[in-house]
Amino acid sequence: MTTNAPPAPHSLVVGEGFVDPLGFHDARPTFSWKLPEGARRQTAFRLEILSGDDRRDTGWIGSDQSTFVPAPGLPFSSRQQATWRVRFQDEAGRKSPWSIPARFELGLLSASDWSAQWIRPAGDAPQDREPVGLLRRSFPLSGLADLRHARLYVTARGLFRLQLNDCRIGDDHFANGFTAYQKRLHTLTYDVSTLLRVGENQLEALLGTGWFAGRLPFQAKTRGPYGLHPELLLQLEVTRADGARETVVSDDQWEGSFDIPVRTSSLYDGEDYDARHTAKHWAPVHSTADLGPAVLVPKPFAPIRAVQSLAARTVAEPAPGRFVFDFGQNIVGHVRIRLPARKDRTLSLRFAEMLQPDGTLYTENYRTARSTDTYTPDRDCLLEWEPVFTFHGFRYVEISGLPDGVRPAPDSVTGVVLQTDLRPIGRFASSHPKLNQLQSNIIWGWRGNSLDIPTDCPQRDERLGWTGDAQVFCATSLFNQDCHSFWKSWLATMRDEQDPDGVVPDIIPAAAVTWRNRSPGWLDAATFIPWDVFVRTGDLSILSENYRMMEKLVAWYRSQSVDGLLPNIKGYGDWLQPYRQTPTDPDVWMGDRVGDTPFPLLGAAFYARSAQVLAQTAQVLGRDDNARCYRDEAGFVAAAFSRAYFDANGRLRIAPETQTAYALAIAFDLLPTALRASAGARLAALVREAGGHLRTGFLGTPHLLAALDQTGNSDLAAEILFKETYPGWFYSINQGATTLWERWNSYSHEEGFGDAGMNSFNHYAYGAVGQWLYERVAGLAPDPAHPGYRHFFVRPLILAQLDHAEAELDTPHGRAAVRWEKMGDRLLLEVTVPPTATATVTAPGSKEGRAVPPGQHRFEHHRHA
């Protein structure tokens, strides 16, 4: 090794970004690493994997690939442990030392690995509430001196919380999550080596209804979309130094009870705890040896965890004995209390996102969700407590039932923020406080709506995986957090739920929902999301895994089309578009909320775009013949769209003309080149007629600013972005918003609250503007031709409303960053390109880009005021 060898690679990850995973899900893992700062190119690498006597060494491979490198040799097996390391050769032929070793361990990959049975407390659970059961079993261990390790594998039809010898196992919440339970169940793996003891050991499991057996909307029965009885499947394996394995499983040797302090726990309604009920009335469990039809797979993304704690900022008493704590931020999770309590006197905790003018809670927008936790103590005490199987969307909590004369301090109640534990990877900032608040609102909205699945809202009696919301926001989410594995898993559930005819349910998982609205923009999550994730990660498998699903959706569109158009399609339209003018169609569900843009126009636009994405996907996967066919299909539909809906002057034939129709036509590239500029001019005119405001709903808003920008109207795009009045992003901020809202006017100081039937104050869909903040305001945009930021574009839009803006992103290759600042008559532009990547920098006002290599670059330009 020469003395001037480059430093070793770092940031070693397996699969979709896992660091030293325990219970990994893929028998054929891929490996990724980053080159050290200062490195420019990798010309070769050497990968070594050690697993017992199995040593796999690739030798030196001439390649610049440093992401998603497949493992050499045969697939790995269940429980297999391995360490791996890598080194690289740079452009000068210098070889780095080996990296610090990383490791991974497989979970149980096959049903044949399980000897456990499904168990639950015997007897009929109360049907008037969502009961929580307690399961337990004792087992002996003769000694631990020769212990190699102990692993606990577990899943549930419902939710679980485990203890071993009175110690909680894991730090996750709702760990197995929400899948299409009839098709797929996620299993968890825990290292419990340090929790075992010589002699008698005791395992305990709380078992809640959760999404499996709890209350969900849009179903005829009160609860139980998948079944009425939550069940547990558990397997503890104690491995000795000689490889011998002792196993404790869920079976008929356990006992269970419903007569426990946790009386009921509901995702929507909250949790009731009565300390006067000590666990008793134990009985043998009900057990089932048949594992059922669902595939058991190790959970392929991070679980939900408590990622942050917030202290209450203020406490008020708007009514005697009712204390309202304000956390200053709309969050999702629960609260932890430390309060005095009196025997037999129930403490009640009620949650809300907003307050009424008199300071009491506004809860009408929760609809039927009770969102209340209670605790009844069995003695006078200083109570420290938090719930187990519920969560709430809230900024405020009202506590009543305290001892007479007690006025609680703000720090007696802590907000516990729950979120799928996704790693933050991006940052956007600017010189404008409200634009920075918008970015904060986007992040908090996503945090609150990414509890295991992407939900529409986290507070009312819904909280479901609406596909339309997800597809408009996916690209923005990938700028802010490492959501790669999150989206990949949700797409697997989408494949499970796709109908034979190609239709994707409106909600994923579909739960008990049997209806299909077949709505453009919602259906297309099946095509848009795989492509968005691929472009931003470079993971080819997300396209190959979902290719058939994408094909089936486009085939369904084709089956419904007449000469490339979709005259009979309906759906949700441009949902919640403000200032709707079209008369309500009584035959359309919630027809007053669907916007003015005609369903057939939306259908043709999204059909064309999905066909475009499918053609690009086929090309990337090397399916050239398919790519050609789908490209022709997309062109045919786009031409039909243009002829049907635009005249020779690039103007819409429909009335009223809508911003959304123009925005989609431009953003999806559906118009001939000759009409594009005139369509952009007409879109700009519509914006001016609206006083510089948007008139778009869920489908048009994500594309409006980009469409204006692409047609030379970036000044109008900026005017919309910075607009202080309704409707616009700053309008809600001016009303105190700390997350994105479902409606542009969910609340105003002058008019109060909007329609409570559809009035979420944490709804991320309009946060899709975050993509434009990164890609154009800061100027950091991916290149689909070189996915995973192997190459990216730097094209900042220097806005009159800003003095500076910046963005940074931890890409698969390292840190990429852009910052621009006005300095008198000069403009300073700073760009960071990570190792192995390149960027094309286009200076403001220039049409020519400049290629730049890895490293830090500084540019100065004369600025025209």
10-residue block means of pLDDT along the chain (865 residues)? 82 99 99 97 98 96 98 96 98 98 99 98 81 97 96 99 99 96 98 98 98 84 84 99 97 96 96 92 95 98 98 98 99 99 98 98 96 98 98 99 97 98 99 99 98 98 97 99 99 98 97 89 99 99 99 99 98 96 85 94 99 99 99 99 98 97 99 98 99 98 99 98 98 98 95 93 98 99 99 98 99 98 96 98 90 97 77
Instruction: Fill in the amino acid letter for 370.
Output: R
Residue 130: name the closest of 213, 242, 253 by CA: 213
Is the distance from CB of 807 to CB of 771 less than 8 angstroms?
A: no
The number of C-alpha atoms within 13 Å of 244 and in the hemisphere containing its C-beta is 6
Is the distance from CB of 417 to CB of 308 less than 8 angstroms?
A: yes
Long-range Cβ pairs for the range 57-64 (8 Å, 24+): 60/89, 64/836
- Give the chain's count of helices (H) and strands (E): 14, 45
pLDDT attached to residue 224:
84
Q: Which residues contact 33 (CB under 8 A, 6 or more apart)?
A: 9, 10, 11, 12, 13, 66, 86, 88, 99
> Distance (Å, rounded) from C-alpha 249 to C-alpha 376?
34
> Distance (Å, rounded) from C-alpha 744 to C-alpha 754?
10
Active-site pick, 48, 105, 231, 462: 462
First to last CA, the chain: 55
Is the distance from CB of 647 to CB of 653 less than 8 angstroms?
A: yes
Q: Which residues contact 244 (CB under 8 A, 6 or more apart)?
A: none
Specify the CATH class of 111-301 in words. Answer: mainly beta
Please state the separation of Cα 824 from the chain's center in Å.
42
Q: Which helix (H) or strand (E) holds 829?
A: strand 826-833
- To the nearest 10 degrees (0 to 180), the angle between helices 467-480 and 701-710 is 60
> Distance (Å, rounded) from C-alpha 10 to C-alpha 13?
9
pLDDT attached to residue 355:
98
Active site residue 91: no
What sign does the dihedral 587-589-593-599 (CA atoms) show? negative
Please state the separation of Cα 593 from the chain's center in Å.
26
- All CATH 2.60.120.260 domain ranges in the chain, comma separated: 111-301, 305-420
Q: Which helix (H) or strand (E) holds 324?
A: strand 322-341
pLDDT attached to residue 344:
98
pLDDT attached to residue 395:
99
- All CATH 1.50.10.10 domain ranges in the chain, comma separated: 426-778
What sign does the dihedral 270-275-280-282 (CA atoms) show? positive
In the beta sheet, which residues pair with residue 382? Answer: 340
Encode 77-107: b = buried (16+ Cβ within 10 Å), e = exposed: eebbebebbbbbbbeeeebbeebeebbbbbb
pLDDT attached to residue 840:
99
Residue 831: name the closest of 772, 781, 770 by CA: 781
Phi, psi of 620 (to 5 degrees): -65, -35
Q: Which residues contact 586 (CB under 8 A, 6 or more apart)?
A: none
Write down the pTM of the prediction: 0.97
Q: Which two tokens stand for residue 373?
A: 């936790």
pLDDT attached to residue 1:
44
Specify the CATH class of 10-106 in words. Answer: mainly beta
CATH 1.10.8.640 fits 305-420, yes or no: no
Measured CA to CA in angstroms, residue 306 lies from 448, 523, 804, 812, 842 at distances of 12, 32, 34, 26, 42
pLDDT attached to residue 585:
84
Please state the separation of Cα 443 from the chain's center in Å.
11
Pick the CATH number of 780-862 from 2.60.420.10, 3.40.50.2300, 2.40.50.100, 2.60.130.10: 2.60.420.10
Specify the CATH number of the domain 426-778. Answer: 1.50.10.10
Neighbouring CB atoms inside 10 A of 279's CB total: 15
pLDDT attached to residue 862:
86
Residue 273: name the closest of 188, 337, 201 by CA: 337
- Can you say whether residue 177 is alpha, beta or left, with left for phi > 0 and alpha for psi between -120 and 50 degrees? left
pLDDT attached to residue 279:
77
Active-site pick, 105, 204, 742, 808: 742
- All CATH 2.60.40.10 domain ranges in the chain, comma separated: 10-106
Please state the separation of Cα 524 from the chain's center in Å.
17
Residue 398: name the closest of 326, 455, 448 by CA: 326
Q: Which residues contact 218 (CB under 8 A, 6 or more apart)?
A: 507, 511, 512, 513, 515
> Distance (Å, rounded) from C-alpha 594 to C-alpha 580?
9
In the beta sheet, which residues pair with residue 168? Answer: 163
Block residue for tokens 């594009």: 676
> Distance (Å, rounded) from C-alpha 571 to C-alpha 468?
11
Residue 594: name the closest of 697, 730, 483 by CA: 697
